[in-house]
Amino acid sequence: MTIAFSESEERQELRRQVARLAATFGRDYFTEKARKGEKTTELMEAVGKAGYLGVNLPEEFGGGGGGIGDVAAVCEELAAQGCPLLMMVVSPAICGTVISRFGTEEQKQKWLPGICDGTGTMAFAITEPDAGSNSHRITTTARRDGDEWLLKGQKVFISGMDEAENVLVVARTEDAKTGKLKPCLFVVPTDAKGLTYQHIPMEFTSPEWQFQVFIDDVRLPADSLVGDEDAGLIQLFAGLNPERIMAASFSTGIARHALERATAYVKDRQVWGEPIGAHQGIAHPLAQSKIEIELARLMTQKAAALYDAGDDMGAGEAANMAKYAAAEAACDAADRAVQAHGGNGITQEYGVGGLILAARVGRIAPVSREMILNFVGMHSLGLPKSY
């Protein structure tokens, strides 16, 4: 398989156009909305109207007909302009991809157009209080009741429940042959009877909120099941690989933004008659971040190329590595940006202090770096399973 190490002119132009659009909003807009507890509705609408929101989804349903690499580029460029939209990771990349790959024609027609233009945002619910990032330990269950399904369980740290019309819930059903539980995915309306959710206040500043979700015997029609009941992990990881690729792009975008802010500051800030960026103690950490960011971007590009080529196993390994590398690069870049600003780095005026928490989220969500190391240990190195 041949993978290019430079992006096509079409994708580079996509990046330029998204960056241009995002720059008309910028970090100040994003931060102000978050601090006021308001949503970045205008930005999401502008991204959807321009056709960037569903750039990875089929054209017949309002998408751009591109791949995961395209929507990852959109996500990264938004974050690089100081506007990291978490629902970009969730709605078009995870939910949209799963429905596009495994949904029936009726399901695609019902849900994809809204995902593409932003009028039907969809949340994704997999993480549970007692399972964390381990998708093999989820306990939310679905059982048949005549021609319907009954769902019961809990989810935690679910993004955007207050913005979404539906949520794609990962549950487990019993295999009639083995008696073992297997993962299945269901689209659940956020106003369904028996489904409730509670806001979880977070320390980091974001217009997109986190929720605990309670699923108490939610009754669903048969066509709420996405894909084949027996496909199990294949369908689940069809959503999780894009999730990791998008998370990597989210982190590299934040890292680029932090580095750009730091670089501009140290070029301008004068001490003893010269810019502080002339000193190696300032320049070297920022140069190190540039290297780390580009390495993470390259691995993200590889993961997207493998996924779009249909190599799910190869993409899984690369996507996990990309997500790990990008989160580390973002944390380092944000920390170095604050340090380069000195005392100004923790003022609201300069707006880089908040990037530390925003970047730190990438080490935890949507999968912790420890679970990524477990994956690489098992699948890349062939080590015994440790959990």
- Looking up residue 217, the CATH number of its domain turns out to be 2.40.110.10
Residue range 5-19: average pLDDT?
Answer: 93
Would you state the pLDDT for residue 171?
Answer: 93
User: Is residue 309 a part of any domain in this protein?
Assistant: yes
Asked whether the predicted pLDDT for residue 175 surpasses 70, the reply is no
In a domain, 138, yes or no: yes
**CATH code of the domain in which 376 resides:** 1.20.140.10
Looking at 120, 147, 182, the residue that finishes a domain is 120
Mean per-residue pLDDT of the chain: 93
DSSP bridge pairs for 128? 132
Q: What is the pLDDT, as a whole number, of residue 132? A: 67
The answer to whether residue 72 sits within a structural domain is: yes
Q: Do 87 and 213 fall within a single domain?
A: no
What CATH code is carried by the domain that includes residue 65? 1.10.540.10
Out of 87, 120, 153, pick the residue that ends a domain. Answer: 120
Angle (deg, nearest 10), helices 354-364 and 312-341: 160
Predicted pLDDT of residue 2: 58
| Per-residue pLDDT tens digits for 292-313 | 999 999 999 999 999 999 998 9
Q: CA-CA distance, 76 to 248, in Å (whole number)? A: 8
pLDDT in tens, 199-237: 999 998 899 999 999 999 999 999 999 988 876 677 887
Residue 181 and residue 99 share a domain:
no
- Give the pair of three-digit tokens for residue 130: 């007692």
Instruction: Give a yes or no: residue 85 inside a domain.
Output: yes
Domain boundary among 226, 244, 273: 226
Q: Model pTM?
A: 0.94
Report the pLDDT averaged over residues 273-278: 96
Question: Could you give the C-alpha distances from 209 to 42, 46, 203, 221, 383, in angstroms and in order?
Answer: 17, 20, 11, 28, 38
Residue 2 in any domain: the answer is no
In a domain, 320, yes or no: yes
> How much is the pLDDT for 235?
81
**Structural domain that includes position 367:** 233-380
Residue 185 near residue 225 (C-beta atoms within 8 A): yes
Q: How far apart are the first and last CA of the chain?
A: 33
- Regarding whether 340 and 268 lie in a shared domain, the answer is yes
pLDDT at 234: 77
Give 124-166 pLDDT, tens digit per residue: 999 999 876 666 778 999 999 999 999 999 999 999 999 999 9
Average pLDDT over residues 287-293: 98
Kindly state whether residues 184 and 220 are assigned to the same domain: yes
Residues 59 and 74 in one domain: yes
Write down the pLDDT at residue 3.
56
Q: What is the pLDDT of residue 88?
A: 93
Domain annotation covers residue 375: yes
* Claim to verify: residue 42 and residue 130 sit in the same structural domain: no
331 and 364 share one domain: yes
366 shares a domain with 246: yes
Q: What is the predicted pLDDT for the residue at 236?
A: 80
The answer as to whether 280 is a domain residue is: yes
Please tell me whether residues 158 and 195 are part of one structural domain. yes
Relative to beta strand 166-174, strand 122-125 is parallel
Residue 45: the pLDDT is: 95
What total of structural domains would you count in the chain? Answer: 3
Shared domain for 78 and 137, answered yes or no, is no
pLDDT digits (tens, 9 = 90+) for 329-347: 999 999 999 999 999 999 9
- Let me know if 385 is exposed, middle or buried by CB neighbors in 10 A (0-12, 13-18, 19+): exposed
In this predicted structure, what is the pLDDT of residue 6? 79
| 264 plus 375 within the same structural domain | yes
The percentage of the chain sitting over the pLDDT mark of 70, rounded to a whole number, equals 95
**Residue pLDDT, tens place only, 229-270:** 876 677 887 789 999 999 999 999 999 999 999 999 999 999
The rounded Cα 113 to chain-centroid distance in angstroms is: 20
Give the pLDDT band (50/70/90) at residue 41. very high
Q: Are 279 and 360 contained in the same domain? A: yes
In the numeric block, which tokens belong to residue 280? 């190696």
Question: What φ, ψ does residue 169 adopt, rounded to 5°?
Answer: -100, 130
